[in-house]
Chain A
Amino acid sequence: MTDLLALAWTFVRLSFLAVGGGVGVVPEMQRQVVGIHGWLTARQFVDGYALAQVTPGPGMLVSAFIGYRVYGLVGAFVAMAAMFLPTSLLTWIVASRWQRLQSRPWALAAERSLAPLAVGLMAAGVFTVGRSAIADVPTIVLAGAACIAIAKRWLPAVVVVLAAGFANWLLHV
């Protein structure tokens, strides 16, 4: 029960950190679930994050993966609800009043000033995932190749990620 409460509280707080998309929240998520609570190892965290990227839906469904580890099916639902419901409620409240808020000078200032913060958080997220995921020469090469293939729009990201998994397997057989 304490685990469930800690899980819910952790993901509610994390969800409010996700400004400008999910990646920015990754460093704090890893700090919380790996470092502070010890729910997963760093390796399991990266595996879960990679799985959430290649499965349908928002990448933040990694919360269900972590919740499942902590408290099974119930844990998965609690973590997901904590991740998605409070911020969705906030969005709905603001969205239904946006017509009036939009023209306020502070709304524009907030929009302008949060963008670079979100980019910094995203970069930190990439760095955090990279620190665990890039371990040897094959992973460096695969990350670089994926970067080029996706930047040049040769293939959809999900195909590239799945192909990289296959390639890494082939390299070691």
Chain B
Amino acid sequence: MRQVSMAHLIRMFAWIGFSSVGGGRSAYIYDMLVERHAWLTREEFLPRLTISQLLPGPNVANLAVCLGGWLRGSLGAIVALIAVIFPGAVTIIILAGLYFGYGVGPDTELALRGMGAAVVGFLCVTTARIGRGALRARGAIWIAGLTFISVGILRMNAFLVITLVGGLSLWLNRPGRSETRHSTGSEGRGIS
């Protein structure tokens, strides 16, 4: 770990927030902080990536909190969080103002339809990439399928589903069961 000034921290995370378009850019953060600027090592980065994926909340924000906190303490965590959100927040609020204030003309409407369709394609790819590495636990395919059907198709309350299906999954993977197909933890997860 390197000694990093608060100004550097703000600039780095604001830049990450500004340039991470499309969500799920943990690989980008890894590249910036570990490979290019050597603010921390791979071994310091990976457990923090795992935490930010494991805990609820937007991944990029969680990762900013973990890394900012590691580099500069509690204040660093707060500063990194705000810096990573700020550029996008300003943009989306301006767009929301235009969208709801002036409405959308037919041309914009068509462009938004096209963008919405492409976002679906993008999400399919992202889900497939993450799914490939994540479906190795015991009963994983069934848990994923059950979750998909109940939340996606049957539109059931997601809180209920997470509690019930999550509980079932935890029980299936409880400590002490023979772990023949056990994933290797953070190292096996890869960087999405």
Contacts and interface: CB of A to CB of B under 8 A. Distances in A.
Interface of A is mostly: helix
A145 B121 contact: yes
Chain B residues touching A, range:
35 or more
Contact of A57 (B87, B110, B136, B174): B87
Interface string B53-80: 1111111111001100110001001000
A119 B122 CA distance: 15
Given A15-B56, A95-B51, A143-B120, A55 B95 contact: yes
A28 B157 contact: yes
Interface string A90-111: 1110111010001001101111
Residue with the greatest number of chain B CB neighbours at <10 A, chosen from A18, A98, A118: A118
Interface in A98-146: 98, 102, 105-106, 108-130, 132-135, 138-140, 142-146
B155 interface: yes
B139 to A, nearest CB: 8
Contacts of B139: 116
B148 A142 contact: no
B75 to A, nearest CB: 11
Interface in A29-60: 31, 44, 46-60
A4 interface: no
Contact of B114 (A18, A52, A139): A139
A64 interface: yes
A91 B59 CA distance: 10
Interface of A: 13, 15-23, 25, 27-28, 31, 44, 46-62, 64-65, 68-69, 73, 76, 80, 83-84, 86-88, 90-92, 94-96, 98, 102, 105-106, 108-130, 132-135, 138-140, 142-151, 156-158, 160-169, 171-172
